Structure 1
Amino acid sequence: MSNPTLNWMLDNPYVQQWHIDETHIDHYQHVNNVAYLSQLESLAWAHSNALGLQFADYQALNRGMVIKRHELNYHLPTHLGDTLECATWIVHCDSKLTLKRQFQFICPKRNKTVFDAITTFVCVSLDTGAPKRMPKQFVDVYGKACEQQ
């Protein structure tokens, strides 16, 4: 459930909390860049699962949404013990090959966005890795969840 007092970029965020522990910290004593990427992946899968698409569906359809591009913006450092509110939205779905997800991570104790990102995904055949048109199930689920058209 989203905290209504946070300043989200868009309405209707899918939100999970991320508790920063020692495994996320780099030699600068900040959250490591790789930890942010890992959180993006985890959040995207959790959102897809909540929308009704599981990896088993991807396998049955022989399709997957793979990353083509990440655009990452680090606004403020985060540290051991911080808890972040991490949100995602599907902001574009062409119903053919591509979709985009927007991400925003807010540190509630500072009430500031510490990180945001946009990831572009391309639909591919799981067998070959070649681009393939989205199956109807992807179009129905991801298209309906899209916040912007």
Structure 2
Amino acid sequence: MNVDHDIQWDLPDPFTLEIVVREEDTDRLGHANNVVYVRWLEDISWAHIESLGMTWSLHESTGKAMAITRTEIDYLASANAGDHLVLGTWLTGFDGRFRSSRQFQLVRPSDGKTLVRAVSTHACVDMKSQRPARAPREFAEILSSASVPGGKGLATD
């Protein structure tokens, strides 16, 4: 990827994913469809937690998973087919028991423009019952140690 501008990340040291917008990612307006942005958020979230050791086999062995309970997305500018983008993410909070949060920033390096900012919150659930469950020790260690201070963390409401 040819990066013409330094990326101004909202927080330090993001986990990143490079994206090239495909023609099939666009909608009738000719820009990346909102559903595609959500897919990118999911793709980077899985890649990030797996890189930290929170693999699918760990989910299966503990019988627990972190399910998204809320996602807020601010669409600031559009992406078009052929655009080269970099999506960054950070874990920004863990309450020590059930809930975690994550922040995202999507940037087009060619002009340094931030296209999307998003925040998601997650709750630990039992994979069989789909009911809330306390995060296993393994999740708690990963989520606590990887959380970045200063992000848009867990809501207090």
Shared fold by TM > 0.5? yes
- Unaligned 5+ segments in structure 1 are none
Instruction: Compute the TM-score of the two structures, normalised by the length of structure 2.
Output: 0.91
Match of 1:52 in 2: 53
What one-letter code is carried by the residue in structure 2 that aligns with 1:60?
A: S
**Which ranges of 4 or more aligned residues in structure 1 deviate by more than 3 Å?**
none
Q: Within the alignment, does 1:129 sit opposite 2:127 as a pair? A: no
Q: How does 1:85-100 map to 2 (within 5 A)?
A: 85-100=86-101
Match of 1:118 in 2: 119
Q: How does 1:1-149 map to 2 (within 5 A)?
A: 5-148=6-149
Q: Kindly tell me the number of residue pairs found equivalent between the two proteins.
A: 147
Identity %: 30
What one-letter code is carried by the residue in structure 2 that aligns with 1:100?
A: S
- Unaligned 5+ segments in structure 2 are 151-157
What one-letter code is carried by the residue in structure 2 that aligns with 1:110?
A: D
The one-character-per-residue Cα deviations of 1:84-111 (angstroms, maximum 9, x if unpaired) are 1100000011110000000000001110
Instruction: Compute the TM-score of the two structures, normalised by the length of structure 1.
Output: 0.96
Cα distance between partner residues in 1 of 2:98 and 2:30 = 40
Structure 1 residue 53: deviation in Å? Answer: 1.2
Structure 1 residue 56: deviation in Å? Answer: 1.2
37-46 or 15-24, which deviates more? 15-24
CA RMSD, 1 decimal? 1.3
SS of the aligned residue for 1:18 comes to strand
Cα distance between partner residues in 2 of 1:116 and 1:24 = 19
